[in-house]
Amino acid sequence: MLGLLLAVLFLVKMSSTATPSERVLEQLKLLAGDYIETAQLKQIIDDFSTDFNEDDEQTFEQYIIKPLKNLSIAFVVVDFQNDFVSGSLSVKEGDAKEDPDKALAPLNRLLKESDWEMIVYTQDWHPSNHISFCEHAHDTDRILCPEDRNKTFEPFEKVCFEKPATQQVLYPTHCVQGSWGAEIHPEVHISSDSTIVRKGTDIYVDSYSAFTDNDGISKTVLDDLLKENSINAVVACGLAYDICVKYTIKDAKKLGYLSAIVSDCSAGFSVSGISEANLEFRQSDVAVLNEQQAADLSLRRFVPIEWIRSLASAHAPN
């Protein structure tokens, strides 16, 4: 009892004698948990203001500390569908040789044992003659560019269409609406009160992101759903890490959500694609987490340094 009283008195004394930057640092250390070194947090404060004063402290409190203390996080499971696990477009057939089955156990633990404000599952949901399907590249309802009209195509080639005017990577037929391949893999835990968002439903445009089509014109319902539920952060995982998961989380970041991806609950298709994705994540303050970090984030035991840095950069004095 005496020890507790002394600790309280020490904190009270420290708060009255500490500098503004020291007070902010103590709050950041509580948010960061055991994952982030104090020196990294100090650097964020120094970058925010070289002469950190009480006005800076108030700004930091309002725009960085307060949002991080009031996180509302959506966990988005991207395209964990039969065709991407073991079907016509299995991720494990890519040169990265990453097996989606290995992501199932950590994914299901995060779905069952963590504490997310919202859980969303996405599905590629294509018409049977979708523009991305290799076998339909020569269909009469679309016109290839002159240089491609007489070619025979193989999956993963990029082709030019004159109508609709687009460049398109061709894939094996996959995730056709209502098919077995389009179903969420049966071993993925489906949480109660979760939401399913479908994408890629337009015949003539592909949709890697769960937020919008590849042309950035037609939106899915995802952004509206997140806003209706007062979500301010998105944690995503799924298939494929370097394609649909990447584009989903990049769009989340563009739309203003604090954004993270869970690497061991995902599987990537190509070595180069995974490397490029990770570089893009680092450059845009998208946090790359493992299962344990994601679980601790959901339970508010940890906040990624990328999120702290992103908010601090956005609100630093000019």
Determine the Cα angle at 197 with ends 173 and 108, to 5°: 90
Tokens of 123: 């599905």
Contact indicator for 209, 250 with CB cutoff of 8 Å: yes
**CA atoms of 248 and 281, how far apart (whole Å):** 12
Residue 269 amino acid letter: F
**CA atoms of 4 and 100, how far apart (whole Å):** 49
Residue positions annotated with a catalytic role: 79, 199, 244
**CA atoms of 293 and 107, how far apart (whole Å):** 13
Determine the Cα angle at 290 with ends 285 and 292, to 5°: 120
CA R_g for the chain: 23
